[in-house]
Amino acid sequence: MRATLFRLYFEGPLKELPRAPALLGHVLWWYRYTHGREALEGLLEKPLPFRLSSVFPEGWLPRPKLPPVQVEETERRKAIKNLTLVSLETFQALAEKGEEVLLEAPEVLGRARPPEPRRLRRSRVGIDRGTGAARRGILFTQELLFPDPRTAYALYVMGEAPFDLRDALAFVGEMGFGGGASVGLGRFRVEGPRTVELPEAKEANAYATLAPGPLEGALYYDLEPYWGRLGGGYVGSKPFKGPYLRTREGSVYQEPTALYLDTTPQDPPEEGVRVREFLGVFPLGVRL
């Protein structure tokens, strides 16, 4: 599959690597800031002409969720069970031949592994929201990811955004992605775009997704509950969206489905506002 690649280089810690729905939310807030509310509402009246993947170390993709292979050897069975990312070459073989290829895959035999951010705890001082100053007696720690700033992380784009996506990503990277951006978390620089070919089966009859997806249409999947915060102009007194279930990256679908899921909280952030989460399968063909 032909896609557009942007390389992200993280310049500090962050809570988690960007995932497609949250990153799209950041981009669409940028669109509202630069083009206005009416332009954003017009963009969302029709199906989006592009989709974002979640972000992975370059050269690695989520392991597709395929019918499992039976393994007698305990150590190898555990290695396969714990495998979450695979190389592009292994993904191509999995898409064509199924999970039997994992029996001799270098990731399972310990010959290849993706770059992993360090996990470190950082102390912080609580803030009194009334005064904006440090709050007496509140000291806490957070576990954060510290990616190597020299390691490229890949964001893939399918389709054509009706605006300069590089400008949008550069803005997000400068302001910071995700929670804690106000204290310097989630900052990155962007390189790209460039065209790439992603691996997939030649005669596919299903699709593995590179982004969280909806439950509808999922064949083989991992579920996760999600209770995200509101972003952009709604950060603050009404922080949470409505909770929902979605599938993780690597889940397999019959069709590349997509939907806007209504996640408006019981007490909306503003009268008349509806909050939506875009869940779109970023499809790479696999054969079942």
pLDDT (average), residues 181-199: 94
pLDDT at 235 over 80: no
The residue that leads in pLDDT, 283 or 229, is: 283
Question: Between residues 231 and 23, which one has the greater pLDDT?
Answer: 23
What is the signed CA dihedral for 187, 189, 195, 201, rounded to 10 degrees? -30
pLDDT of residue 237: 63
**What is the Cα–Cα distance from 6 to 165, expressed in whole angstroms?**
10
Model confidence, pTM: 0.94
pLDDT of 233 strictly over 90: no
Residue 105: band (very low, low, confident or very high) from pLDDT cuts 50, 70, 90:
very high
3-state secondary structure of 243: coil
Higher pLDDT, 182 or 85: 85
Higher pLDDT, residue 24 or 180: 24
Structure confidence at residue 110 as a pLDDT band (50, 70, 90): very high
What pairs with residue 276 in β-bridges? Answer: 262
Give bridge partners of residue 123 from the DSSP assignment.
141
Phi, psi of 226 (to 5 degrees): -140, 135
For tokens 């389709």, the residue is: 159
**Closest by alpha carbon to 52, among 148, 243, 193, 182?**
193
Q: Per-residue pLDDT for 141 more than 70?
A: yes
